[in-house]
Structure 1
Amino acid sequence: MSDTFEIFLACAPGLEAVLAQEAKALGFGPLRMAAGGIAFDGTWGDVQCANLRLRGAARVLARIGGFPAVHLAQLDKRSRKFPWAEVLRPDVPVKVEATTARSRIYHAGAAKQRVETAITEELGAPISDDGVRILARLEDNLVTFSVDTSGEPLHRRGHKPAVGKAPMRETLAALFLRDCGFDGTEPVIDPMCGSGTFVLEAAEIAMGLAPGRSRSFDLERLATFDAEAWQALKAQPVQPPEGPPRFLGYDRDAGAARNAAANAERAGVAAISAFACQPISALERPDGPPGLVMVNPPWGARIGKPGPLHALHKSLGDVLKERFRGWRVGLVTSDAGLARSTGLTFKPPGPVVSHGSLKIRLYRTDLL
């Protein structure tokens, strides 16, 4: 293996361009766009930085090499000669997943078995469902190996155990905030905050907190792991909070508001955030400069029947138009009709984004 290799940053399809903006801001590149993510050539240091600091990536894959193979015997022989020890440890279990496309080796299960056998017999690493994931892609008779360096999906930040009904993934929330132009310098309000995802992500961005600071990664189980460099990376300074809370969340469910406040405490952003139980009708513009209202209201496929929700969206729009002049609004929904019910003037909607089995879009306004 060379010192540099391809690193693939996976994200929700539809948000590749927004993730590219974040990756470029962190100094990664040159970037190559692909379906479901972006790629660039980098080092194991870049892998560590990407996992720790990227807010919008779902996973970080290290493409560690490959070879041509047109039949199983060839796959077996060349897998045994592959330099697994440069990346994997013999005392750490692995889990192999294989996919095939337009390849003379068409049986993914047989390919998986050959690679597993090569790793266990040549390296000594056991096979286990909780092992480091090795992804073997057989396409056009070329085998490519990737290591999932993240382990658990990156939206699992590690400091937000309390979640509400139908939560927004943190990675999506971070990219939607960025797509609305948020850079950490303005206030953010979520009038239907649930477990507080938008508010917490905004507050963490403002304080310069690394999203991966509270969790572990599978990169720490690899032979390439540099513990000293990792500790130095995690020790980068944090922007101390100043002034009154600038990141506010409200929910009509008192339990949701309490959970969001507890999540903020665990995340270390309680000093600049606040949560309260109140309905949309009680929402007031705070003192100070204008900012961003970021909201993921309930919509039919997510919470309940769409009929009664139109009135809720109209009430939200009426309050924002009346009390939040000079602010911007970002609204996430799967239902264009509900967005129209707000009466707000939106820019052309963002791309369709896959959120599990659902398809959602971001609707943005200019200054109200």
Structure 2
Amino acid sequence: MEQTQFDIFLVATPGLEQPLACEARGLGWDPVIQPGGVTIRGGWPDVWRANLSLRGATRVLARIGGFRAMHLAQLDKRARKFPWADLLRPDMPLRVDTVCRASRIYHAGAATQRIARAITEELGAPLADDAPLTVKARIEDDLVTFSLDTTGESLHKRGHKQAVAKAPMRETMAAMFLRQMGFDGTQPVLDPMCGSGTFVIEAAEIALGLLPGRSRDFAFQQLANHDAAALEALRRHAPRPAPAIRFLGRDRDPGAIRMSRDNAARAGVDAVTDFEPGPIEQLERPDGPPGIVILNPPYGARIGNKGPLFGLYAQMGEVFRTRFAGWRIGIVTSDGGLAKATGLPWLPAGPIVAHGGLKIRLWQTAPL
């Protein structure tokens, strides 16, 4: 494991691999898109930076090596010779996850048992289901590949949002939908159904250049090669000066507005965000340059019945058409019929994205 460069797999929300690749490219990596994510090449400092800096990845897997194994006895023998001590600590609990595909070793449970036993007996590390570290083994065409989950709790958990509304949008998804709309931190953003404020807070963080992982811990901090000083230096990334524009959230529920304000304060973006209660029919175009309206309205699949929603979407469309000339509108929904009920001039809908068992997509317009 002396190699300085190895494969690092950035796990994406299915359907959002493309914007994640764009984000990785913008941070200086050379990404290759694969189903379910993006592969980059790098060393451990890239692993730390990816966890800290990427807004669209849900986790970061470091490929640490592997070998061929035709049967369980061979897997056991070679797993015992693998240099686990280079990265794993004998005092740190871990768990092993195995996937088998098109291999003579086909029983994932038996393979997991052999690998886990090899690590505990050779290294001394205990096993635990809720361990902070996960070793992922993939056995495909008789080739065993080991990866470490260097993230731990999913990266959408930024560490700021304690209050959450019904059917919340994940931060990782919100960031990628903003990217798909061409948001680069210089345009105002308005979410007229802001819930717990995710779109607005992500937009404000991007504009201020704040690292998404600045307030949380990661699994890689439990590895034998962890460099606390290097991580601290990466965390001390200087934010950008506050922009002249503001990021606005509106919601008919005063409780959602209180939640959003609290979440924005914890994220350190309360100076550039503004949350006010109000229904969609009273929504007014903000002063200043045109920007982006983006929202995740109810779509019936999750929160009750669809019938009344067609009227709501038609009303939204009317408000945007008559009051938001020059603005671009983005709606995330699982129902194309609801999107079309707005009467807005949609561009071709974005790719299907998996969201809690639903298939949603971003519908967006050119400037109205």
Partner of 2:238: 237
* Counterpart mapping for 1:114-125 below 5 A: 114-125=114-125
CA shift at 1:27, angstroms? Answer: 0.5
Unaligned runs of 5+ in 2: none
Aligned-partner residue type, residue 39 of structure 2:
A
Aligned-partner residue type, residue 42 of structure 2:
G
Partner of 2:178: 177
TM-score normalised to structure 2 length: 0.98
Q: Is the 8 Å Cα contact of residues 314 and 341 (structure 2) preserved in structure 1? A: yes
Distance in 2 between the 1:59 and 1:255 partners? 31
Task: Name the Cα RMSD after superposition.
Answer: 0.8
Q: Count how many residue pairs are aligned between Structure 1 and Structure 2.
A: 366
Partner of 1:353: 353
Judging changes above 3 Å, is the alpha-carbon distance between structure 1 residues 262 and 338 closer, same or farther for their aligned structure 2 residues? same
1:343 partner SS: coil
Partner of 1:209: 210
Distance in 2 between the 1:302 and 1:332 partners? 14
Mean CA deviation greater in 127-136 or 53-62: 127-136
CA shift at 1:240, angstroms? Answer: 2.9
2:176 partner SS: helix
Whether 2:9 is the aligned partner of 1:8: answer yes
* Counterpart mapping for 1:300-319 below 5 A: 300-319=300-319
Distance in 1 between the 2:126 and 2:92 partners? 7
Partner of 1:70: 70
Partner of 1:323: 323
1:345 partner SS: coil
Whether 2:335 is the aligned partner of 1:335: answer yes
CA shift at 1:302, angstroms? Answer: 2.1
* Counterpart mapping for 1:76-91 below 5 A: 76-91=76-91
Aligned-partner residue type, residue 192 of structure 1:
M
Unaligned runs of 5+ in 1: none
CA shift at 1:130, angstroms? Answer: 2.2
CA shift at 1:239, angstroms? Answer: 1.5
CA shift at 1:41, angstroms? Answer: 1.1
1:305 partner SS: coil
Partner of 1:126: 126
Distance in 2 between the 1:356 and 1:37 partners? 17
Partner of 1:28: 29
2:307 partner SS: coil
Output one character per residue of 1:81-115: Cα deviation in whole Å (capped at 9) or x when no partner: 00111111111111101111111011111100001
Aligned-partner residue type, residue 210 of structure 1:
L
Distance in 1 between the 2:96 and 2:80 partners? 14
Distance in 2 between the 1:270 and 1:219 partners? 31
Output one character per residue of 1:11-36: Cα deviation in whole Å (capped at 9) or x when no partner: 1111111100000000112x211000
* Counterpart mapping for 1:144-159 below 5 A: 144-159=145-160
Distance in 1 between the 2:204 and 2:142 partners? 48
Partner of 1:248: 248
Aligned-partner residue type, residue 133 of structure 1:
T
Distance in 2 between the 1:221 and 1:151 partners? 10
Q: Is the 8 Å Cα contact of residues 186 and 243 (structure 2) preserved in structure 1? A: no
Distance in 2 between the 1:320 and 1:177 partners? 18
CA shift at 1:242, angstroms? Answer: 4.4
Aligned-partner residue type, residue 95 of structure 1:
R
1:62 partner SS: strand
Distance in 2 between the 1:237 and 1:302 partners? 40
1:259 partner SS: helix
Distance in 2 between the 1:91 and 1:26 partners? 35
Judging changes above 3 Å, is the alpha-carbon distance between structure 1 residues 181 and 242 closer, same or farther for their aligned structure 2 residues? closer
Partner of 2:46: 46
CA shift at 1:321, angstroms? Answer: 0.6
Q: Is the 8 Å Cα contact of residues 207 and 243 (structure 2) preserved in structure 1? A: no
CA shift at 1:137, angstroms? Answer: 0.7
Distance in 1 between the 2:299 and 2:212 partners? 28
Partner of 2:270: 270
Distance in 2 between the 1:246 and 1:341 partners? 29
CA shift at 1:129, angstroms? Answer: 1.6
2:177 partner SS: helix
Output one character per residue of 1:178-203: Cα deviation in whole Å (capped at 9) or x when no partner: 00000000100000000000000000
Partner of 1:94: 94
2:57 partner SS: coil
1:308 partner SS: helix
1:74 partner SS: helix
Distance in 1 between the 2:256 and 2:195 partners? 5
2:190 partner SS: strand
Aligned-partner residue type, residue 168 of structure 1:
M
Partner of 2:56: 56
Distance in 1 between the 2:229 and 2:257 partners? 39
Distance in 1 between the 2:95 and 2:243 partners? 46
Distance in 1 between the 2:302 and 2:246 partners? 29
Distance in 1 between the 2:302 and 2:261 partners? 23
CA shift at 1:282, angstroms? Answer: 1.1
TM-score normalised to structure 1 length: 0.98
CA shift at 1:356, angstroms? Answer: 2.1
